[in-house]
Amino acid sequence: MVRMTSLVEMRNITKKFPGVTALSGVNFDVKPGEVHILLGENGAGKSTLMKMLSGAYEPTEGVMVANGKEFPRFTPKISQDNGISIIYQELSVINEISIQENIFVGKLAEKSVLGLKVVDNKAMRKRTQEVLDEIGLKRSPETTVGSLSISEKQMVEIAKAVAFDAKVIIMDEPTSSLTTEEINHLFEIVNRLKKQGKGIVFISHKLDEVLAIGDRVTILKDGQYVGTYPISEMDEDRLVKLMVGREIKGTYLKDPDKEYKNEVIFEVNGLTRKDEYVKEISFKLKRGEILGFSGLVGAGRTELMEAIYGAAPIKAGTITLLGKTLHIKKPYDALKEGIALVTENRRETGFSPYFSIKQNLNQAKNLKESKFGGMTGLINNAEEERVSEEQRVAMQIKCATTNQVITQLSGGNQQKVILGRWMASNPKLIIFDEPTKGIDVGTKSEIYKLMRGLADKGIGVLVVSSELPELLSTCDRIIVFNDGRSNGEFLSTEATEEELVRAATTK
């Protein structure tokens, strides 16, 4: 076999931030026509390594190589000139402008008219349409990006890379917000790009995906380089062993020997949203039980949770928590009643990006304890410090100090801050919408344990998830949504993935 030269290479890279060594002695390269997986737990240094390829960060030590040429660092220009394109973990599209404008932002096409340079709108529109056709996004180039779903926004990011003929495309957790169908579509695109000789870097915590799409895998552990291996030599157990170094337990269902009072702690009866995105939903949650919600995206699961949380108006139905009928008009009312909602979109409705970890951890609790709709309330520094320390330890948040801005944390650690914020608000009912998005396998099992612990303490737990194994291993009962209505209810100990899929897709 001919040894193919790498498109890019990183040798012996070390990256230090104040108080943390994010990476030390890491090697990485990308060859034409391969999918190179980058794997490691939350905070292992994956995104940081990729930001040195895109030129966003400068290595503290090490050598960067592009097309055989060595550099102490890549500037964004060097990176762009060498055809490197990155799709960041937290998407970087601009909501206020169109798809076409997002693709060409900073790189407007020009033409010459009577010796003057003017923007060539026609060329940009044509190119945008070509790229959208190629990747299969059925939207017009003029569509405002803010009106797209998360997965469509992600397609726009891919369109940006494809439009400028990138040679190396880095995808940092591209599948964490996608449904199975969308993931299959993304894999088709990735395989097509691969056939065109592009090098793809693919970051994911989902090991089945890694095995399905990867050619080689590089594993990082706590910023250290573990090694690079052909995927053909790997299976899930070996990957877990290399990245985590311990075995992971299988299920977190209710202990069948444990006795609970046969008490309904939360009940929804005949709930219909004003916009009818959910219709006539009824269910009961018993003490000690975790209830899951399955179904396709848009089937009404998130929409139901929004209604319970007061984020969308209802036209009929009742909601009862611990025997009290609630009249929730807005999220503040829900918070006051002890309802917490961990949303699926952490960037847009999850955390406050300009706030510190500590402020984020105290936000829900402070608001809950405030008066007059959050207009008044005293800040107690010592109490904030106590709460944030408690949650930092409980959620194992990896940070230098809790005074850091939350956006400095790795993606998975940002998610832990959001979970910690809701824990600190002392909820009676907690709704998790895609709770382990971007969370590594080891931490996932910690979160499942935490959910089970909450249920054991008598706190109501509802879980919306697109990952069927997650629902089956953590929820005692699962309701499947189909077109805004419940289309079946299953006990986890009896249900199979096939049955859940069938209920989600056929009536």
What residues make contact with ligand ATP under the rule CB under 6 A?
Answer: 17, 20, 22, 40, 42-48, 89, 398-399, 408-413, 440
Between 52 and 328, whose beta carbon lies closer to Mg ion?
A: 52
Between 42 and 302, whose beta carbon lies closer to ligand ATP?
A: 42
Structure tokens at 444: 């996932």
Least distance to ligand ATP, CB of residue 343, Å:
18
Which one of ligand ATP, Mg ion, none is in contact with 48 (Cβ closer than 5 to 8 A by kind)? Answer: ligand ATP
Least distance to ligand ATP, CB of residue 205, Å:
7
Which one of Mg ion, ligand ATP, none is in contact with 43 (Cβ closer than 5 to 8 A by kind)? Answer: ligand ATP
Between 89 and 151, whose beta carbon lies closer to Mg ion?
A: 89
Which one of ligand ATP, Mg ion, none is in contact with 199 (Cβ closer than 5 to 8 A by kind)? Answer: none
DSSP letters of 378-415? ---HHHHHHHHHHHHHHTT---S-TTSBGGGS-HHHHH
Q: What is the total count of residues that contact Mg ion (CB under 5 A)?
A: 4
Residues 419, 425, 431, CA angle at the centre, nearest 5°? 50
Quick note: the x/- pattern for Mg ion over 70-109, rule CB under 5 A, is -------------------x--------------------
Between 317 and 411, whose beta carbon lies closer to ligand ATP?
A: 411
Least distance to Mg ion, CB of residue 45, Å:
9
- Which among 15, 69, 74 has a CA at the least distance from the CA of 46? 15
Q: Does 177 bind Mg ion (CB under 5 A)?
A: no
Q: Does 40 bind Mg ion (CB under 5 A)?
A: no
Separation of first and last alpha carbons in the chain: 53
Counting every residue written for the chain, the total comes to 507
Residues 363, 365, 367, CA angle at the centre, nearest 5°? 70
Least distance to Mg ion, CB of residue 86, Å:
12
- Rounded CA Rg of the chain: 24
Q: Is the dihedral of CA 39, 43, 44, 47 positive or negative?
A: positive
Least distance to ligand ATP, CB of residue 78, Å:
20
Instruction: Name the phi and psi angles at 70, rounded to 5.
Output: -95, 145
Least distance to Mg ion, CB of residue 173, Å:
6
Which one of Mg ion, ligand ATP, none is in contact with 42 (Cβ closer than 5 to 8 A by kind)? Answer: ligand ATP
* Residue 281 β-bridge partners: 271
**Binding residue (CB under 5 A) for Mg ion from 411, 420, 484, 488:** 411
Instruction: Name the phi and psi angles at 90, rounded to 5.
Output: -95, 110
Which one of Mg ion, ligand ATP, none is in contact with 416 (Cβ closer than 5 to 8 A by kind)? Answer: none
Structure tokens at 38: 């980058």
Q: Does 48 bind Mg ion (CB under 5 A)?
A: no
Between 82 and 415, whose beta carbon lies closer to ligand ATP?
A: 415
Between 40 and 427, whose beta carbon lies closer to Mg ion?
A: 40
Between 48 and 128, whose beta carbon lies closer to ligand ATP?
A: 48
- Asked if 412 and 43 touch (Cβ cutoff 8 Å), the reply is yes
Which one of ligand ATP, Mg ion, none is in contact with 408 (Cβ closer than 5 to 8 A by kind)? Answer: ligand ATP
Which one of Mg ion, ligand ATP, none is in contact with 480 (Cβ closer than 5 to 8 A by kind)? Answer: none
Distance CA 289, CA 281 (A): 19
Least distance to ligand ATP, CB of residue 45, Å:
4
Distance CA 284, CA 10 (A): 55
Stretch that binds Mg ion, among 43-51, 69-77, 234-242, 307-315 (CB under 5 A): 43-51
* Residue 86 β-bridge partners: 170
* Residue 14 β-bridge partners: 61
Least distance to Mg ion, CB of residue 244, Å:
16
Structure tokens at 133: 């056709």
Between 6 and 443, whose beta carbon lies closer to ligand ATP?
A: 443
3-state secondary structure 33-68: CCEEEEECCCCCCHHHHHHHHCCCCCCCEEEEEECC
Q: Does 174 bind Mg ion (CB under 5 A)?
A: no
Run of H or E including 125: helix 121-135
- Which among 252, 268, 329 has a CA at the least distance from the CA of 301? 268
Least distance to ligand ATP, CB of residue 408, Å:
4
Q: Does 45 bind Mg ion (CB under 5 A)?
A: no
Closest-CB residue for Mg ion?
47
**Binding residue (CB under 5 A) for Mg ion from 6, 47, 102, 391:** 47
Binders of Mg ion among 108-137, rule CB under 5 A? none
Which one of ligand ATP, Mg ion, none is in contact with 24 (Cβ closer than 5 to 8 A by kind)? Answer: none
Run of H or E including 445: helix 441-456
Least distance to ligand ATP, CB of residue 313, Å:
36
Between 357 and 475, whose beta carbon lies closer to ligand ATP?
A: 357
Least distance to ligand ATP, CB of residue 176, Å:
9
The answer for residues whose C-beta is within 8 angstroms of residue 445's C-beta and 6 or more apart is: 248, 249, 252
| CA 502 from centre of chain | 26
Q: Does 54 bind Mg ion (CB under 5 A)?
A: no
3-state secondary structure 262-311: CCEEEEEEEEEECCCCCCCEEEEEECCCEEEEEECCCCCHHHHHHHHCCC
Q: How many CB atoms lie within 10 A of CB 259?
A: 7
Q: How many CB atoms lie within 10 A of CB 269?
A: 15
Q: Does 214 bind Mg ion (CB under 5 A)?
A: no
Residues that bind Mg ion (CB under 5 A): 47, 89, 410-411
